[in-house]
Amino acid sequence: MASLIPFNQIRRNTVNFFMRRPARELWKTVTSLSPAGIKKGRTKTRQSVLNLQKFYRIGAGPIKVKYPGLNAPLTAPDVEPALVMEKTQEEIDTVEERLKKIIATRPSKKRIKEKLHPLERGFAGIRIEGQKLGPPPPAGDIRFDEFQTYCLQLRRTTNMTSYGRQHTMAALIVTGNGNGLGGYAIGKASLKHHTRAIVNGMKMASRKLVYVELLENRTIYQDFYAECRGTRIFAQRKPKDFGVVAHPRITKICEVLGIKDLECKVVGSTRNYIALTHAFFVGLLNQETHQQLAERKKLHVVELSPHRRYFPVKIASPLQSELRTERDIEPKEVSSVTN
């Protein structure tokens, strides 16, 4: 006996835009990158591939209804009419629970940002340059607990080799104990390993320490001029409680060395931080203490300070050489040092 339900043939070989290409090829059109784009870092700005079938069901929407043939079984039109019905609360809760489980299993890509105090921030925003890094790692039995370290620059460098361009990370690190002992170095590591470059720079800086003589443990002995490449530095000694007025990188160097009163002017290239650091350290190391000046000139070192109304005060005398007299001093010899 033939069935009274009419036979409806459903065509399965429909070809349209959405069925012509698989999802993998469609996603490739919006996520693919050229080799040049990958080198320039455009991967971060591209949209990631999402499994739409996992998070989105056809027929789901803000209006909680059931459409026969879309998100509900299709009934025979001659037996039972197709009705658009509202979903029950139980069905809505079931869908929401399923979505919550899927979202909970999805890995979170949100980075947890550590909130810094305004005084602990670096030169620009949350970047590592200018932030306190703590003491360098110990070298054997030698510890550097009293030292403080700063990263003055972190950048990507490129070296052209026979295999092509080799990219590395370079970090300019300065460290010191705040009492005249300090050093600087450049640490390097492979690309995208900036933490390793900083640690390597801290290790190298702790092994290249130099001692800088400070006047009253707060400032320099003489005003000096130093240069390196296109960077020129003019440093001037200042009275107590003046503070440090200088380039931000020089301010950090003064902090780790213990210089508290100084005015420094940078002329020329102010963004070549390696030349800036080298010139400032060379200027500090070329200083002469009052005793060294007395030994070299074989004369008394007398200070005429405006705070004492230029009353002469002897602050150093030659100990290892004989004191020269007025007849031994040449007419063109410089006998005064202005600070």
Q: What is the mean pLDDT of residues 55-80?
A: 69
Q: What's the mean pLDDT when you consider all of the chain? A: 86
Whether 11 has a pLDDT exceeding 70, the answer reads no
Which of 303, 310, 311, 307 lies closest to 339 in space, CA to CA?
A: 303
Supply the pLDDT for residue 262. 96
Supply the pLDDT for residue 14. 62
Whether 339 has a pLDDT exceeding 70, the answer reads no
* Range(s) within the chain of domains with CATH label 3.30.230.10: 224-285
Write down the CATH number for the domain with range 224-285. 3.30.230.10
Beta strands in the chain (DSSP E): 65-66, 85-86, 148-161, 164-176, 181-190, 210-211, 224-228, 231-237, 244-245, 262-268, 301-304, 312-316
Read off the pLDDT of residues 276-291 as tens digits, 9 standing for 90 and up.
999 999 999 999 999 9
* Range(s) within the chain of domains with CATH label 3.30.160.20: 126-211
Supply the pLDDT for residue 105. 77
Joined together, the tokens standing for residue 265 give 């002017």
Whether 111 has a pLDDT exceeding 70, the answer reads no
Supply the pLDDT for residue 32. 86
Q: What is the mean pLDDT of residues 108-120?
A: 75
Name the more confident of 143 and 21: 143
Name the more confident of 63 and 213: 213
Whether 2 has a pLDDT exceeding 60, the answer reads no
In the block, tokens 């339900």 appear at 5
CA 297 to chain centre: 47
Whether 59 has a pLDDT exceeding 90, the answer reads no
In the block, tokens 């209804």 appear at 65
Supply the pLDDT for residue 171. 97
Name the more confident of 149 and 33: 149
Name the more confident of 39 and 237: 237
Q: What is the mean pLDDT of residues 257-279?
A: 96
Lowest mean pLDDT among 80-89, 148-157, 291-300: 80-89
Is 131 in contact with 122 (CB distance < 8 Å)?
yes
Q: What is the mean pLDDT of residues 294-303?
A: 92
Write down the CATH number for the domain with range 126-211. 3.30.160.20
Supply the pLDDT for residue 182. 97
Name the more confident of 327 and 156: 156
